[in-house]
Amino acid sequence: MNVFNQLSIWLSFQLSIIFLIGIPVTLFFWSTKTRNKAVNKLLSIYWKISLLFFISLLLLIGNYNYSLLVINISTLLMTISVWFWTDINDELKEYDLSYSLITTTKVWRWSLTFISLNFLIQSLRNFNCFSFINSAACEIWLEPSSNFYIIIKNLFKFFFGANFTQPVAKFLGLFSLLIYTLGLIQWSIIKLPKNGRNSCFSENGRT
């Protein structure tokens, strides 16, 4: 059962690379090339929100006890961010299946929702890891981040000539989490009451 659980978690992280990073990058450049303002705005918002996912990976590398909780919050916010905006939703409804960019975007939104639910289900199966990722039973959650750690470590050494250690990852993750939280609070207090669920993508003209 432990082997199956480990395989499921590994697969979840592999799918996240595709659906949380790979496909959104492709859609962003695609929408920029075709000048589709609705999808471009959707992806712009998504990338801002998805910063929390990368912060959670830093916390996971740093063995921060609540890193799994942050991962689930990040995937939840990412999912909400692609469904939240009424003006974008209304715009996407106007296209038929023959418009490949919009169809791909719709499929990706549902895939992202599935990935988020999958992460949550996997996490609930290891509920104690929400608050104590460093326990022996939670080692399977730390293993997928090892490759990401190696990449960042090599880049950090190349650009700064210094070692990227787990304490450094934890510090950067916590500092970034603080800045992200302050930004999210500011948006919730100032912009959300003003614009509501309107992304304002069409302020400069309709696509």
Closest CA to 16 of 61, 83, 74: 74
Burial class (CB in 10 A: 0-12, 13-18, 19+), 127: exposed
Q: What is the pLDDT of residue 206?
A: 43
Instruction: Delimit the domains of the chain by residue range.
Output: 2-195
- Distance between CA atoms of 120 and 102, rounded to whole angstroms? 27
Burial class (CB in 10 A: 0-12, 13-18, 19+), 68: buried
Joined tokens for residue 97: 């299946």
Q: What is the pLDDT of residue 205?
A: 44
Mean pLDDT, consecutive 10-residue stretches, the chain (207 aa), reads 68 82 93 92 94 90 90 94 94 88 95 90 86 83 71 70 80 94 94 90 57
Q: What is the pLDDT of residue 132?
A: 87
Joined tokens for residue 195: 């614009």
**Global confidence as pTM:** 0.87
Q: What is the pLDDT of residue 161?
A: 67
Q: What is the pLDDT of residue 165?
A: 82
